[in-house]
Amino acid sequence: MRMTNSHPVMQKPADSCCDDNWAQVYIGLGSNLGDSEQVLQRACWAIAQWPSVRNLRMSNWYRSRPQGPQDQPDYVNGACCFTTHLAPRTLLAALQQLEMDLGKIKQRHWGERLVDLDVICYGQLILNTPELTLPHPMASQRDFVLVPLQDLAPDLVLPKFGSIQQCLEQLPETFLYAVADTSLCHQPDKRIELLHEKNAEAVI
């Protein structure tokens, strides 16, 4: 996958950009086709290389049963967080482009997918537009989103929904396997921190 410099996420931050323009965002990742762990890892590496992104960190990866149609493989899920000066809709468009670059083909609703990248929250922003809802409307009801978020920010409070802990206590349904079995790399020292590896070429 090769990104050109004309792509919005490849443009360098404006010199006048001040810290106030950088939002802390959380992205939910999922895959149940192909080599899912590798696909999610590649997605995170690609995002970490966008000049408009700083300090990307990844959660552990987890296994969950599918929601919706049950005749599909189980999922690998995780989350990543970073700061960005991309506007919310530009960020969503960039993530959708990345999904396509990684090889996503749209199939049935809630069906199997090579990669799914959702904006879980963008700072404390609450947004309701046809193309983008923030925080993600289903975030508070999905353990496969909440548990990875907890890895990244145990004290995170989601706008509208409250703390991760509160959301987990009120879950209507669970998808993750028993947590002891579900984490694919649960040792904190194995957690990968991608601290702005800008020297690497933006080629996967």
In whole angstroms, the minimum distance from the beta carbon of 18 to ligand AMP comes to: 26
With b for 16 or more beta-carbon neighbours within 10 A and e for fewer, the 60-92 pattern comes to bbbbbebeeeeebeebbbbbbbbbbbbebeebb
- Taking the least distance from each CB to ligand AMP, the nearer of 56 and 119 is 119
Q: Does 131 bind ligand AMP (CB under 6 A)?
A: yes
Q: What residues between 85 and 104 interact with ligand AMP by CB under 6 A?
A: 92
- Taking the least distance from each CB to ligand AMP, the nearer of 133 and 191 is 133
C-alpha separations of 16 from 85, 154, 162 in Å: 12, 33, 34
Q: What is the phi/psi pair of residue 199, to 5°? A: -75, -25
DSSP H stretches of helix in 66-183:
88-102, 143-152, 164-169, 179-182
Q: Please, which residues bridge with residue 153 across strands? A: none
In whole angstroms, the minimum distance from the beta carbon of 60 to ligand AMP comes to: 21
Q: Does 156 bind ligand AMP (CB under 6 A)?
A: no
- Taking the least distance from each CB to ligand AMP, the nearer of 99 and 151 is 99
- Taking the least distance from each CB to ligand AMP, the nearer of 57 and 136 is 136
Q: Does 132 bind ligand AMP (CB under 6 A)?
A: yes
Cα-based angle 175, 63, 99 (whole degrees, multiple of 5)? 100
Please identify which residue in 67, 72, 83, 133 interacts with ligand AMP, judged by CB under 6 A. 133
Q: What residues between 107 and 126 interact with ligand AMP by CB under 6 A?
A: 116, 118-119
Sequence-separated (6 or more) residues with CB below 8 Å from residue 13: 51, 52, 85
Interaction site with ligand AMP (CB under 6 A)? 92, 116, 118-119, 131-134, 136
